[in-house]
Chains A and B, each alone.
Chain A
Amino acid sequence: MTTAPGLFVARCLVRVAVWILVAGAVAGPAALVRPAASAAPGAESPLYGTELPADGYVSSTSCAAAACHGRGHAGGMRSEYLAWSPDLRPGKPNDPHARAYQVLFNSVSKRIASLMELPKPAHETSLCLKCHAVEAVQPAEALSEGVGCCGCHGPAKKWLTVHYQPAWKALSHREKWEQYGFLPVQNLTTRAVNCAGCHVGDATREVNHELIAAGHPRLTFEFAGLHVTPGYRKHWEEPLAPAEFESRAWVIGQATSLRNATKLLGERAKRAESDSEADWPEFAGYSCVSCHRAIRKDTPRPVPRAQQTRGKSGWEMLSVAAVDVAAEFTPRVFVGAAVPRLVALGELREVMAKGSPNLQLVRQKSAAAVAELDDWLTALQAAEDRPRAHALAPEVSQQLLNALAASALTPDRGALRDHDPDFLAAHAAGCRAVLRGSPDVRLSGHMRELVEVLPVPHTPNGRLTDWGSGLTNARMLRVRDQFRDIFDRTRPGGKR
């Protein structure tokens, strides 16, 4: 250890020089590829397709010509309108978006309107129409279509007569959006962000606790899973192989729902800061079970020092629980994307774990976290827009399953890391997505058991599921055993 000072300094200088070279080699091309805006914090987000224009929405019948998307073969090419529109016979697969407006007339909606003392019925209330129809559609009668073509594909006025011309194909996704307001939903990131606008909420749309208490089902957005909702009739085909699609959709879904939830949180904090009468904290941002917990001896206790602790609440647990796994797997699923930086998000999570989160802190931290998540989504969107040169490495599915199971358990795999049903549902949904893409007969029984045992939130007929009585210690042990077995079987050299 006795080195001459001169030699020591020289070595240091060499090291520094090597690091500068390495950093330059990495950062140089990155700076060329990445849009400059993302480098400067606070600059305009380069993520495109996030805020839909205010007007230009046309009715879905504009797309339904027989020569366009209205051929008579539901499920086939150029029959997208038919696949979307409701079947006259009940019980057939269909697209619920076509009934979105119709449900505003049912008994649940009437009850919600009466409990919330809305001045007008639900189908005339902007609060409801924002998501249950394309509110700005012209003519206004077309509201009754529900969430029609323009709801997801963007206002068609500018591109209706353009999008079938040869020149259209030459445009990039970004150009189609920037010049015409066409949402390239083939890009899974663009698609997810647009779905999340209603299914999670954004600055102007939200399902808050007041609505839920009045009877509106809670929003439980799981992007990958929603594609395979039983009875849902897709009007398109995914170009990706199932394994690739599911893992991409899962990672993108995690980033997107968290981004929109965080954005909504920031909006709510801003509102509460300026309006002392606004509800704060907004309960809809927390796990139901944070409060709605049966007072019984066999109700599982919150795990100490877990994400949700005694008397404290789990913030956006469905989106947050497995987000670290999604971040870690970003470079493996999307070639060329880096592991995202989620430091501000971590700080926000700490602020939100407090009993009464400080408004100003929440607003600041959520803005910083949204910027981080936007950067992540920008990378994912860019990766989606690049031609796919590499197929998903075959071992990634197994690794992802293993990481998800590990994340649900404590480091010694002896217990669940958290007893919050949202935490467990988020991990189970990830496992299901991976297994849909690359089925593994050894694990299908585990998934069935998880689905059966886990009180996964779902709302048949608008009724809320009863978690309180379903949540018992015995069930938690069964859930733990399933995750433990998934972990063991997906580990290299683990159980066969």
Chain B
Amino acid sequence: MTAPRRTTIAIGTGVFVLAIGYGLCARPHAPASGTAPRDQPAHAPQRPPAVGRPVLRSGCEASACHGSAATRALADEPGPTTWMSSASLWHARDPHTRATEALASPLARQIMEQLRVEQPERWAADALDEARCLACHTNPALALHANRPGRERLRTEGVSCESCHGNASDWLFEHTNWTAADRPARYDEFGMARLFDVGERAAVCAGCHVGAPADPARGYPLRDMNHDLIAAGHPRLNFEFADYQRRLPPHWFEKDRTRDPCVPREPEFEAKAWIVGRVASAEAACRLLADRAARAERDGADWPELSESKCFACHRELLPREWRPSSRTRTSTWQTVWPLTRPEHRAALPAARAGEVAAELAALETVLARREPRPTETARHAARAAAALRGLRSELAGAPDRTAAETAFGLLARVNADSLDWDESCQVMQGLASLEWMRLRRAPSDQRTANPLFAGMYSGLALPRPEGRDHFDSPRRFDSKVTRANLNRLLASIRQTCVVPE
């Protein structure tokens, strides 16, 4: 065992040294000659202000820092010492490790081939050279300057530490000394992302999982997974923050870091994560929409961007199928930012913000109700809606877990299952699942049995995967009558069992 370990350590040290070296070189400034950055807006500064350079994973992975053995953390629930092995945990289990690898897959090749059939000059032949793909499949700060020597090797670690926490060169040494009292201020000062704040965390995730405009100040290119990419074969983005977070092997211990000493999160955090995640998704969607509209106006980009709509707004087979939105329910065809697009639900939001959010979203929806929304108007209203939603997100994230959970419960209590389409039914079920997780975490460990109604709901809403592989199809099994009945039973049952404690 010793020889391989020594080799590993030697290789590890080598990689570390190399990576630090490259990291120091890899400052995202003016592109090398002949490698024009893709999708960077024309007004992007040539030399973005310093917001830290990537030092890469090996900078965090020292065994005395975040790289201690993950054996215990892998076996147990996260605990106060999980941070010590967070990098090892990530390395061992996290799907983000494989993000760049996916760009070398047959699917990625197929997508690039499809894209290049129509626009050979627009897309790189290899996804690994395409800034638009790299923007989310690696640290976005490394995505530009595709052919710069050495960049390719820097990218291979996938969506690693700095992709979410921010480039570490400025805080790598500092952050070991911060305390609960000065933490929020220090994070901002040194450019480390405040991921302990669930609102900021959801916004960071949404940057890729929903999309974001280019951010020249940070050297981030445009992150926009649009209908061109979906039509070429990229899976649609179905971001659900609370659900994704639960599925992710946690390399952290969930606690309130603004308090000293830190206190573990209460079970109500599950419901809080759901509502904060919904608002963060809506905010990111509005910001991206504003950017798409602005680009359509400025550069003649595709408009209307079809991925703004629910898939089944257009992709309907021509037989009366139950999942077709009924003309009676008149649900919006805009991508679902449910529950915020339903006026009856907005009443459950914190009173101080509800009015502003309701007004901005209603104005935006009026603009989008046109078959061909006007780009200028859309950009203006979407930006205003994003700003209002940002305020709501901060407020919900800053509220005590129980207060936010009450908001979530209030929203779900107002759901009328009779007027939901497939997209919205999925969102409602995710919300109910969060309440169920909250209930389960409150129960003694030997009494944690999930409500059996969920199993039926899941299979009714899921897309069939007949070949056992990724197979994106219409929700053929969706029967709105059965779903409605199930959802109503589930709602009644959750309303009884899941009351937020006073």
CB of B68, distance to nearest CB on chain A (Å) = 45
The CA-CA distance from A356 to B301 in the complex, in Å, is: 11
Most chain A beta carbons < 10 A, residue from B306, B371, B473 = B371
| A295:B318 contact, CB within 8 angstroms | no
In the complex, how many residues of chain B place their beta carbon closer than 8 angstroms to a beta carbon of chain A? 25
The CA-CA distance from A296 to B306 in the complex, in Å, is: 18
- Known contacts A311-B227, A463-B319; 19 further A-B pairs (Cβ under 8 A): A281-B372, A288-B318, A292-B317, A293-B314, A293-B315, A294-B474, A295-B315, A295-B472, A295-B473, A296-B473, A310-B114, A310-B231, A310-B232, A311-B306, A355-B303, A356-B372, A464-B319, A467-B317, A469-B317
Chain B contacts with A in 294-337, Cβ cutoff 8 A: 302-304, 306, 311, 314-319, 327
Chain A contacts with B in 299-328, Cβ cutoff 8 A: 301, 304-305, 309-311
| B314:A291 contact, CB within 8 angstroms | yes
| A280:B372 contact, CB within 8 angstroms | yes
| A468:B317 contact, CB within 8 angstroms | yes
Q: A281-B372, A294-B474, A297-B471 are in contact. Are A355 and B318 (CB under 8 A)?
A: no
| B302:A464 contact, CB within 8 angstroms | no
Q: Is A22's beta carbon under 8 Å from chain B?
A: no
Chain A contacts with B in 311-367, Cβ cutoff 8 A: 311, 355-356
Q: Is A115's beta carbon under 8 Å from chain B?
A: yes
| A115:B327 contact, CB within 8 angstroms | yes
Q: A279-B371, A280-B371, A295-B474 are in contact. Are A311 and B318 (CB under 8 A)?
A: no
| A466:B319 contact, CB within 8 angstroms | yes
CB of B422, distance to nearest CB on chain A (Å) = 12
Q: Which residues of B contact A115 (CB under 8 A)?
A: 327
The CA-CA distance from A272 to B317 in the complex, in Å, is: 28
Q: A280-B371, A291-B315, A466-B317 are in contact. Are A309 and B118 (CB under 8 A)?
A: yes
CB of A492, distance to nearest CB on chain B (Å) = 35
Q: Is B228's beta carbon under 8 Å from chain A?
A: yes
Choice from A292, A301, A310 contacting B318 with Cβ under 8 Å? A292
Choice from B232, B316, B372 contacting A292 with Cβ under 8 Å? B316
Q: Which residues of A contact B228 (CB under 8 A)?
A: 310-311
Q: Is B75's beta carbon under 8 Å from chain A?
A: no
| A305:B318 contact, CB within 8 angstroms | no
Q: A115-B327, A309-B118, A311-B306 are in contact. Are A281 and B318 (CB under 8 A)?
A: no
| B302:A355 contact, CB within 8 angstroms | yes
| B316:A468 contact, CB within 8 angstroms | yes
CB of B305, distance to nearest CB on chain A (Å) = 9
Q: Is B117's beta carbon under 8 Å from chain A?
A: yes
Q: Which residues of B contact A465 (CB under 8 A)?
A: 318
Tell me the B residues contacting A by CB distance below 8 Å.
Answer: 114, 117-118, 227-228, 231-232, 302-304, 306, 311, 314-319, 327, 371-372, 471-474
| A466:B118 contact, CB within 8 angstroms | no
Q: Which residues of B contact A304 (CB under 8 A)?
A: 117-118
The CA-CA distance from A208 to B391 in the complex, in Å, is: 43
The CA-CA distance from A310 to B302 in the complex, in Å, is: 12
The CA-CA distance from A304 to B474 in the complex, in Å, is: 24
Q: A309-B118, A310-B118, A311-B231 are in contact. Are A294 and B371 (CB under 8 A)?
A: no
Choice from B231, B318, B474 contacting A464 with Cβ under 8 Å? B318
List 12 A–B pairs whose Cβ atoms lie within 8 Å, in order of A's numbering: A214-B327, A291-B315, A292-B314, A294-B315, A294-B473, A295-B311, A301-B114, A304-B117, A309-B118, A310-B114, A310-B228, A467-B318
Q: A292-B315, A310-B231, A311-B306 are in contact. Are A281 and B371 (CB under 8 A)?
A: yes
Q: Which residues of B contact A309 (CB under 8 A)?
A: 118
The CA-CA distance from A296 to B319 in the complex, in Å, is: 16
Q: Which residues of A contact B372 (CB under 8 A)?
A: 280-281, 356
Q: A291-B314, A356-B303 are in contact. Are A305 and B319 (CB under 8 A)?
A: no
The CA-CA distance from A8 to B266 in the complex, in Å, is: 98
Q: Which residues of A contact B302 (CB under 8 A)?
A: 311, 355
The 7 closest A-B CB pairs, nearest first, are: A468-B317, A291-B314, A304-B117, A466-B319, A464-B318, A310-B231, A279-B371
The CA-CA distance from A293 to B312 in the complex, in Å, is: 10
Q: Which residues of A contact B232 (CB under 8 A)?
A: 310
The CA-CA distance from A467 to B315 in the complex, in Å, is: 12
A-B pairs under 8 A by CB, number: 69
Q: Which residues of A contact B227 (CB under 8 A)?
A: 311
Q: Which residues of A contact B318 (CB under 8 A)?
A: 288, 292, 464-468
Q: Which residues of B contact A356 (CB under 8 A)?
A: 303-304, 372
The CA-CA distance from A466 to B316 in the complex, in Å, is: 10
The CA-CA distance from A305 to B117 in the complex, in Å, is: 8
Most chain A beta carbons < 10 A, residue from B314, B318, B471 = B318
Q: Which residues of A contact B316 (CB under 8 A)?
A: 291-292, 468
A218: nearest chain-B partner, CB-CB: B318
The CA-CA distance from A61 to B353 in the complex, in Å, is: 71
Chain A contacts with B in 462-482, Cβ cutoff 8 A: 463-469
A301: nearest chain-B partner, CB-CB: B114
Most chain A beta carbons < 10 A, residue from B114, B231, B471 = B231
A297: nearest chain-B partner, CB-CB: B471
Q: Which residues of B contact A466 (CB under 8 A)?
A: 317-319
Q: Which residues of A contact B314 (CB under 8 A)?
A: 291-293
CB of B484, distance to nearest CB on chain A (Å) = 20
| A305:B118 contact, CB within 8 angstroms | yes
Q: Which residues of A contact B327 (CB under 8 A)?
A: 115, 213-214
The CA-CA distance from A469 to B473 in the complex, in Å, is: 11
CB of A48, distance to nearest CB on chain B (Å) = 37
A283: nearest chain-B partner, CB-CB: B371
Q: Which residues of B contact A288 (CB under 8 A)?
A: 318
CB of B295, distance to nearest CB on chain A (Å) = 13
B463: nearest chain-A partner, CB-CB: A295
The CA-CA distance from A185 to B498 in the complex, in Å, is: 75
A471: nearest chain-B partner, CB-CB: B317
Q: Which residues of B contact A305 (CB under 8 A)?
A: 117-118
Q: Which residues of A contact B371 (CB under 8 A)?
A: 279-281, 283
Most chain B beta carbons < 10 A, residue from A213, A281, A297 = A297
CB of A273, distance to nearest CB on chain B (Å) = 13
Q: Which residues of B contact A295 (CB under 8 A)?
A: 311, 315, 472-474
Q: Which residues of B contact A283 (CB under 8 A)?
A: 371
CB of A116, distance to nearest CB on chain B (Å) = 9
B302: nearest chain-A partner, CB-CB: A355
Most chain A beta carbons < 10 A, residue from B118, B227, B303 = B118
A465: nearest chain-B partner, CB-CB: B318
The CA-CA distance from A304 to B317 in the complex, in Å, is: 22
Q: Which residues of B contact A464 (CB under 8 A)?
A: 318-319
CB of A212, distance to nearest CB on chain B (Å) = 10
CB of B332, distance to nearest CB on chain A (Å) = 16
Q: Which residues of A contact B317 (CB under 8 A)?
A: 292, 294, 466-469
The CA-CA distance from A281 to B372 in the complex, in Å, is: 7
The CA-CA distance from A327 to B426 in the complex, in Å, is: 52
A278: nearest chain-B partner, CB-CB: B371
The CA-CA distance from A465 to B227 in the complex, in Å, is: 27
The CA-CA distance from A311 to B229 in the complex, in Å, is: 11
B226: nearest chain-A partner, CB-CB: A311
The CA-CA distance from A280 to B374 in the complex, in Å, is: 11
The CA-CA distance from A469 to B318 in the complex, in Å, is: 9
The CA-CA distance from A244 to B174 in the complex, in Å, is: 90
Chain A contacts with B in 189-237, Cβ cutoff 8 A: 213-214
CB of A312, distance to nearest CB on chain B (Å) = 9
The CA-CA distance from A468 to B311 in the complex, in Å, is: 14
The CA-CA distance from A115 to B316 in the complex, in Å, is: 18
CB of A454, distance to nearest CB on chain B (Å) = 15
CB of B327, distance to nearest CB on chain A (Å) = 5
CB of A287, distance to nearest CB on chain B (Å) = 12
The CA-CA distance from A311 to B114 in the complex, in Å, is: 12
CB of B134, distance to nearest CB on chain A (Å) = 23
CB of A220, distance to nearest CB on chain B (Å) = 13
The CA-CA distance from A296 to B302 in the complex, in Å, is: 24
The CA-CA distance from A304 to B115 in the complex, in Å, is: 10
A464: nearest chain-B partner, CB-CB: B318
B373: nearest chain-A partner, CB-CB: A356
The CA-CA distance from A464 to B316 in the complex, in Å, is: 12
